[in-house]
Amino acid sequence: MISLRGLTKRYGDRVAVDDLSLELRPGAVTGFLGPNGAGKSTTMRLILGLDRPSAGTALVGGVPYHRIKDPLRTVGALLDARALHPGRSGRAHLLALARSNGIPRRRVDEVLEKVGMASAAGKRAGALSLGMSQRLGIAAALLGDPEVLLFDEPVNGLDPDGVRWVRGLMRSLAAEGRTVFVSSHLMSEMQLTADHLVVIGKGRLIMDAPLAEVIAGSSLTAVLVRTPHAGDLAVRLRAAGVRVDRLGENELEVTGAPVERVGDLAYEAGIRLHGLRTREASLEQAYQELTSDSVEYGAERAGA
C-alpha cells in the first residue's frame, strides 16, 4: 500500500505538489490523472525517494522508500523508458539490476519472456524503438516480483496490440493483490483499465474515487426516458427534486438521479415506460469537467 500524508513539494516559489493526502490500496489499478504540470511525475518521484518532499510523507508499506531493505523486491517502477545506458543490451541491463539486488539470473529470462522481449534481448538499448524500450522498462519493474508497481505513461510508443497487452498486464497484476498506480493521458485507455482514479490539478487533489463514481458524477451522464406520458412524468420527477429536460414529445433527459430511482418514480406514479436507459459520459468528458479550472498550459480552441 502507498500512503501520502500532506505531501508537498516546492521548487522556489512554485508549488508542484500541494498537501496531497491519499491511500493507494492493493488489488486495484489506480489511474493517476491530471493536466500537464499538475504534479503527477513529481508525486511519483517523491514516492520513490528521487525527490525530497518539502513537507509531509510518502510511505510504501508504512515506511519511506529509502528505508526499504530490498527496494526492487518491494517496489517496481517505470518512470522514463529511455533512462537506460544506450550501449548495453536489454539483457545486460536487467542482469545488472538483478545482480545488484540479489535476484536470480533466471528471473531475467522470465520477465523478458513475459514482456515479449526474449528475441530482442540482445539489442543495444540505444537501438530500441520507444515501444520496445517501454517493454524493457516494464520488465525491469517486474524483475523483483514486487507488491507495489508504479508506471508513468506506460503505453507511450506502443502499437494497438502492445496497448492491449499493457492493459491486460495491469489488470492481472492487480488481480494478484498488488498495488498498481498508473499515470496516463489516454482517457479512453484509462477507462478500460482503471478501477479507481486519483485526479490532481496544480498539485492539489481534485478527486479520489472509483472510476464509476467519477463518470456518474459528470453532468453529461443522464437517464433517457421514452414514454407516451412524458409531461406527467416530468411533473412527478421535478416534484421529487430531479432535473428534467424535454427532448421530444415522448422523450425526457433526466439528471441527478440513477436509472433505478427514475424507474421507481414512474412505477409509483403508474406511468407506462417504453424505454429507460443510462447515457454515460466518457471518462474524457468527466475529466475535462473536473479539471477545467486546473489547466495550466492551455491552447486556444479551434475557431475561437
pLDDT in tens, 290-302: 998 876 655 554 4
Tell me if 78 sits within 8 A of 138, measured CB to CB: yes
What is residue 81's predicted lDDT score, i.e. its pLDDT?
A: 82
Boundary (domain end) residue, out of 183, 210, 237:
210
What is residue 125's predicted lDDT score, i.e. its pLDDT?
A: 82
Q: 30 lies in a domain?
A: yes
Tens of pLDDT, residue by residue over 58-83, are 999 999 999 998 899 999 999 988 88
Please indicate, yes or no, whether residues 200 and 255 belong to a single structural domain of this protein. Answer: no
Domain that holds residue 227: 222-279
> What does the alpha-carbon distance between residue 51 and residue 136 come to, in Å, rounded to a whole number?
24
Please indicate, yes or no, whether residues 115 and 262 belong to a single structural domain of this protein. Answer: no
What is residue 293's predicted lDDT score, i.e. its pLDDT?
A: 81
243 forms beta bridges with: 255
Q: Which amino acid is at 299?
A: A
Q: Quick one: average pLDDT of 270-290?
A: 93
What is residue 182's predicted lDDT score, i.e. its pLDDT?
A: 97
Task: Label residue 303 by pLDDT band (50, 70, 90).
Answer: very low
Q: Quick one: average pLDDT of 203-222?
A: 91
DSSP string, 156-171: TT--HHHHHHHHHHHH
Q: Quick one: average pLDDT of 259-274?
A: 95
pTM of the model: 0.85
What is residue 119's predicted lDDT score, i.e. its pLDDT?
A: 87
CATH number at residue 271: 3.30.70
Task: Label residue 157 by pLDDT band (50, 70, 90).
Answer: confident
Q: Which comes out higher in pLDDT, residue 156 or 262?
A: 262
Tens of pLDDT, residue by residue over 81-118, are 888 888 889 899 999 999 999 999 999 999 999 999 89
Please indicate, yes or no, whether residues 206 and 129 belong to a single structural domain of this protein. Answer: yes
Task: Label residue 287 by pLDDT band (50, 70, 90).
Answer: very high
Q: 294 lies in a domain?
A: no
Q: Which comes out higher in pLDDT, residue 182 or 119?
A: 182
Please indicate, yes or no, whether residues 191 and 235 belong to a single structural domain of this protein. Answer: no
Total number of domains constituting the chain:
2
Expressed in percent and rounded to 5, the helix, strand and coil fractions of the chain are 35, 30, 35
Q: Quick one: average pLDDT of 127-155?
A: 93
On average, the pLDDT of the chain sits at: 92
> What does the alpha-carbon distance between residue 202 and residue 214 come to, in Å, rounded to a whole number?
19
Question: Is residue 217 scored above 70 in pLDDT?
Answer: yes
Please indicate, yes or no, whether residues 148 and 275 belong to a single structural domain of this protein. Answer: no
Q: 288 lies in a domain?
A: no
Least confident of 70-79, 124-133, 158-167, 172-181: 124-133
CA distances from 284 to 54, 126, 190, 241 (A): 32, 35, 9, 28
What is residue 295's predicted lDDT score, i.e. its pLDDT?
A: 67
Q: Quick one: average pLDDT of 244-258?
A: 92
Helix (H, G, I), strand (E, B) or coil at 7: strand
Q: Quick one: average pLDDT of 141-153?
A: 96
Q: Which comes out higher in pLDDT, residue 226 or 80?
A: 226
Least confident of 56-60, 119-123, 210-214: 119-123
Please indicate, yes or no, whether residues 37 and 175 belong to a single structural domain of this protein. Answer: yes
Please indicate, yes or no, whether residues 175 and 261 belong to a single structural domain of this protein. Answer: no
What is residue 302's predicted lDDT score, i.e. its pLDDT?
A: 46
Q: 41 lies in a domain?
A: yes
Please indicate, yes or no, whether residues 63 and 188 belong to a single structural domain of this protein. Answer: yes
